[in-house]
Structure 1
Amino acid sequence: MVNWFEKRCLLAPDHIAIIDGDTGERWSYREAEIRACRVAGYLQSHGVAKGDRVALLSRNDVCYFDLLFACGKLGAIFVPLNWRLSANELRYILDDCTPKAVVIHDDMQTLWDGEASPYKVISISDAEYEAALQSDISPAVTEQVHSSDPFAIIYTGGTTGKPKGVVLSHASIFWNSVNTVLSWNLTSNDITPTYMPMFHTGGLNALSLPVLQIGGTVIVSKAFDADKTIELINREHCTIILLVPTMYHMLIKSPLFAATDFPAMHTFLSGGAPCPHTVYQAFVAKGLNFKEGYGLTEAGPNNFYIHPEMAAIKIGSVGKPMILNDIKITDSEGEETKPGEVGEIMLRGGHLFESYWRLPEATAQAFTDGWLHTGDLGRKDEDGYFYIMGRKKDMIITGGENVYPLEVEHLIRQHPSVKEAVVVGLPDDKWGEVVAAVVVTLEGSELDEEQLREYCACSIGKYKVPKKFFYVDELPKTPVGKIDINRIVQSYS
């Protein structure tokens, strides 16, 4: 398979490829390619070969590109780790993917438990890593890399509480980028800041890789701050940005938002969760182009295109299928729905994932005749524009992060003072949804909200810990004895 990043670096060696949004440091395409080549040689010197996994624990940083493109040269598999998870959760993922090496950024060291590790542990701050970046070492590639070979494994939450590794091949990532460039009309003049975490497909594949493929510039920033983001957008003449609704909520509340016209920006893009109409209205009032997208780790994540002018008319629509993928809405019998009818969103195209890591049955269940079951609900109007109507059963999206209630429920129910518990998502203007727990305690026990919150925080990522706790004597049930989720959501919304 042709290495597109190497070819891009040959075509535009002096163009700026990557900028550190926090320090301002810049790397040209030539410099980015040199870094990737030297890191590949360094990994190979430590025994990393085709098919081996290389994990990374880091906030957004240039090292994501160092390691991704280094793995691409070797045929190794890049595994970005969610640094918001607890040590136990990270350990489960590492045990599942069994990496040959784990690379840890300086500010992530506290998450590493310090126990003896069967993996080669590499610290970004180590003199050895820095020396490799300054050396002339290069990899001796002995095996050809094919388009169907795994390029990355991105772990997502599972409905049973166990993360699943989504295997993205070289072809999956390539076709998502090509599809995005063609459908969204990206050019080498585009400059995008990446605030979405790069361990997510949104941070890595939505804009970062497509912009690099076309020869533009990607700015990596570790943390989102509304005022600093606006200043960066204007200072670096950014043209397109992807944020989750929670970030947009904070952005439009900033006084700087009202004070600037964002002269270089042509598109503000929202993803990760349905966006409140108040955000649309704020951008329309300023005459700025704003639109929504839809995707998932298993597909893209880019699947739709809508012109910003049409997005202002058909508020809430994600548009029409992009050039190189197909989309349909099907009913419970697998038949396509009529315009206006709600059904499951089905996707097809070269950008789909290859498999779930070591889960052949789950992989087979995800497809029907080449079409991916998303588990999400949508509808199409008479003009062919699609709308997202729901989401995977029971899943909560809070600030762009996916939380599966069953995982949190299992944990809360294990507390010795808890009799019953149910976890739901409640509407929230800032976060889209907040995780809420309705709890029944054992008679005579004393368990306050802060104690339960601290208990949860010891075992799961902070974003999964319920922001709201409600104590009741009994959970409402349906006539057949099941917990009445709809009634609970209605009662506390």
Structure 2
Amino acid sequence: MRAREAGPFPRAVLDALDAAADRPVFEHGTRLVTGAAMLDLVARVAAGLRAEGLGPGDGVALLLGVHPEAFATILAAHAVGARVVGVRPGLPDAQVRHLLGLDVAAVVTDSGTAHVPRADTARAPRALTVDALRAAHPGTGPLRLAGRPADVARLIHTSGSTGTPKACAQTYAALTAGWAARPGAWPPAIRDLAPRLRRHLVFGTLSSQVMFEYAVLAIAAGGTAVVADDPALPGAITRHRATGSVITVPRLAKLVAAQRRDPADLSTLRALVVSGSPLTPDRHREALEVLGPVVFHGYGQTETGMISMATPADPPGSVGVPPPAVAVEVRDARGAPVPPGVDGELFVRTPAQAVAYWADPERSAEVFADGWVRTRDLGRRDAEGRLHLTGRTRDVVIVNANLHYAGPIERVLAEHPDVAEAYVVAVPDDDTGEAVHAFVVPTAGRPPDPAALRALVTARLGAACAPARVTAIAEPPLAPSGKPDKRLLSTPHVRRKP
């Protein structure tokens, strides 16, 4: 089934599948799915959704694993013009109920026995399965694309690290303007990255904006999305002969440590796209030294999509130069732009950014204004235009009524040779109101000396920023998104370093 007529998203993705024809675009175990077979699967699921009366403006939630049918179902739901709500595995039932309550008409699962918490609404969405939908006959002729430019195409929820995840609303116009499936729109860093994704690992959930879009990029670049049912590294790379993967900072740190202890054969690896949180310059440099010129350091938000990306040729610690299609302003506390080299808050505009938080006008007004997205990230641009991230506006410790950002403290701590990762939180203090509590992951065999860490921070940032308490941990707790979740650091389940 071919999609030849001009149309909105996912037209560019369907065209990439059409161009692939008999080439495998998805690999799951011993199963290979060609571009033509994927197009047929998309058309069948779309016909099934239409037979259920679902179309433009209808909310369709997807609770699916990582497999070719999940990829096809995402595309099919967009083909009928639905508002797609992806639900990551591992979310608490309360968060799932909240997401299913976002005006959802139907829920698609892998099987009829999948656990679906009841939505926080009076009317429960109807339950559908991929197997039932794909049994529909797609008819003849090109696949009709029904997405309307101003309609919300998908709700991508944030990590939920500050509580209930926010649903970022992207329109069909925004998704159509996205770069992943359109080689002519690839920014310079993506043009460097794309050919390295010949065998690109996908895992976790295709409801992840990052996981889905880099799978699309791999296919558009002539590669194959390879499902890693066990994504543990380095095993997944060697087992699947992978050339590329998305990776979080904690997983990258584990891989670097493993390669130092007992190097695996990573000769097929060409690209690791670091996503989710920033790398310190030292950890960035170490990853390049141990793994070779394969580290791409991406920066973006759920609200914006990709903002910039550092290639292996960029200086460690930066997140690269934003492409021409992306506008970035570094502003001071009054909202005025600041010159290069000066820290401030980052405001951005991207072609595919969200327009609001769904059904949340108050928080939308705080972040989306006059076409700009307020990132709440702190950073600066250097003389060459590269972005450097320095912290978060709300990630602070207030000592003696003076505000101190956690990001700079974490970076100084991570510079110590005995510290692999550092995470700073505020704790109550009878004398100063709040004080710094540092959680550190030691480097192999060298537990850090708290006094030395305090002295380092004091010398660089002042005594108020020095950690009153230092706790060694084996690893940071993670949110379902794979990002470190600092809210959980003080809970009993965090593994202390023996």
**Contact 1:71 / 1:151 at 8 angstroms: preserved in 2?**
no
Alpha-carbon deviation of 1:379? 1.1
Deviations 1:319-341 (A, max 9, x none): 11023212121111222212221
Specify the alignment match of 1:466 in structure 2. Answer: 488
**Contact 2:332 / 2:344 at 8 angstroms: preserved in 1?**
yes
TM-score (norm 2): 0.71
C-alpha spacing 1:108/1:427, structure 2 compared with 1 (3 Å): farther
Specify the alignment match of 1:417 in structure 2. Answer: none
Q: Which amino acid aligns with 1:305?
A: M
User: 2 CA distance for matches of 1:326 and 1:154?
Assistant: 22
Q: Secondary structure at the match of 1:93?
A: helix
Structure 1 consecutive aligned stretches of length 4 or more whose deviation exceeds 6 Å: 113-117, 138-143, 422-425, 461-465
Question: 1:134-213, aligned counterparts within 5 Å?
Answer: 135-136=137-138, 144-156=146-158, 161-174=163-176, 175-177=178-180, 178=182, 179-180=185-186, 183-185=189-191, 186-187=194-195, 190-195=198-203, 197-205=205-213, 207-213=214-220
Deviations 1:247-274 (A, max 9, x none): 1122223359954453343322211012
Question: 1:18-167, aligned counterparts within 5 Å?
Answer: 18-20=26-28, 23-95=29-101, 97-106=102-111, 109-110=114-115, 112=117, 118-124=124-130, 128-129=132-133, 131-132=135-136, 135-136=137-138, 144-156=146-158, 161-167=163-169
User: 1 CA distance for matches of 2:72 and 2:114?
Assistant: 19
Pick from 280, 284, 288 the counterpart of residue 289 of structure 2: 284
Q: Which amino acid aligns with 1:193?
A: L
**Contact 1:188 / 1:215 at 8 angstroms: preserved in 2?**
no
1:274 aligns with 2:278: yes
Q: Which amino acid aligns with 2:374?
A: H
**Contact 1:249 / 1:279 at 8 angstroms: preserved in 2?**
no
User: 2 CA distance for matches of 1:51 and 1:57?
Assistant: 19
Specify the alignment match of 1:447 in structure 2. Answer: none
Specify the alignment match of 1:230 in structure 2. Answer: 237
Alpha-carbon deviation of 1:201? 1.9
**Contact 2:161 / 2:485 at 8 angstroms: preserved in 1?**
no
Question: 1:212-227, aligned counterparts within 5 Å?
Answer: 212-227=219-234
Deviates more, 1:283-292 or 1:372-381: 283-292
User: 2 CA distance for matches of 1:464 and 1:94?
Assistant: 26
Alpha-carbon deviation of 1:76? 0.8
User: 2 CA distance for matches of 1:296 and 1:74?
Assistant: 27
**Contact 1:374 / 1:392 at 8 angstroms: preserved in 2?**
no
**Contact 1:188 / 1:217 at 8 angstroms: preserved in 2?**
no
**Contact 2:98 / 2:119 at 8 angstroms: preserved in 1?**
no
**Contact 1:294 / 1:303 at 8 angstroms: preserved in 2?**
yes
RMSD: 3.9
C-alpha spacing 1:130/1:368, structure 2 compared with 1 (3 Å): closer
Q: Secondary structure at the match of 1:388?
A: strand
Alpha-carbon deviation of 1:222? 4.0
Deviations 1:360-412 (A, max 9, x none): 34334323432211011111122222111112514999xxxxx9x99xx9xxx
C-alpha spacing 1:292/1:108, structure 2 compared with 1 (3 Å): farther
Q: Secondary structure at the match of 1:294?
A: strand
Pick from 295, 301, 316 the counterpart of residue 296 of structure 1: 301
Alpha-carbon deviation of 1:65? 1.3
TM-score (norm 1): 0.72
Q: Secondary structure at the match of 1:309?
A: coil
Q: Which amino acid aligns with 2:208?
A: H
**Contact 1:348 / 1:372 at 8 angstroms: preserved in 2?**
yes
Specify the alignment match of 1:340 in structure 2. Answer: 341
C-alpha spacing 1:24/1:143, structure 2 compared with 1 (3 Å): closer
Percentage identity across paired residues of the two chains: 22
Pick from 16, 25, 29 the counterpart of residue 17 of structure 1: 25
Q: Which amino acid aligns with 1:155?
A: H
Specify the alignment match of 2:373 in structure 1. Answer: 372
Q: Which amino acid aligns with 2:215?
A: S
Q: Which amino acid aligns with 2:293?
A: L
C-alpha spacing 1:157/1:286, structure 2 compared with 1 (3 Å): closer
User: 1 CA distance for matches of 2:251 and 2:270?
Assistant: 18
Q: Secondary structure at the match of 2:299?
A: coil
C-alpha spacing 1:136/1:184, structure 2 compared with 1 (3 Å): closer
Q: Secondary structure at the match of 1:35?
A: helix
Question: 1:395-410, aligned counterparts within 5 Å?
Answer: none
Q: Which amino acid aligns with 2:78?
A: G
Specify the alignment match of 1:481 in structure 2. Answer: none
User: 2 CA distance for matches of 1:66 and 1:189?
Assistant: 20
Specify the alignment match of 1:439 in structure 2. Answer: none
Q: Which amino acid aligns with 1:13?
A: A
Q: Which amino acid aligns with 2:175?
A: I
Deviations 1:276-323 (A, max 9, x none): 5346414314433223111111111x121333122xxx2211011023
Q: Secondary structure at the match of 1:9?
A: helix
C-alpha spacing 1:423/1:77, structure 2 compared with 1 (3 Å): farther
Structure 1: gaps of 5 or more residues:
398-402, 410-421, 432-456, 471-493
Alpha-carbon deviation of 1:244? 0.2
Alpha-carbon deviation of 1:351? 1.6
**Contact 1:55 / 1:80 at 8 angstroms: preserved in 2?**
yes
C-alpha spacing 1:176/1:297, structure 2 compared with 1 (3 Å): farther
**Contact 2:61 / 2:106 at 8 angstroms: preserved in 1?**
yes
Alpha-carbon deviation of 1:69? 0.8
Q: Secondary structure at the match of 1:321?
A: coil
Structure 2: gaps of 5 or more residues:
1-6, 397-405, 408-422, 428-433, 444-478, 493-498
C-alpha spacing 1:44/1:188, structure 2 compared with 1 (3 Å): farther
Q: Secondary structure at the match of 1:65?
A: helix
Higher relative contact order (CA 8 A, sep 6+): 1
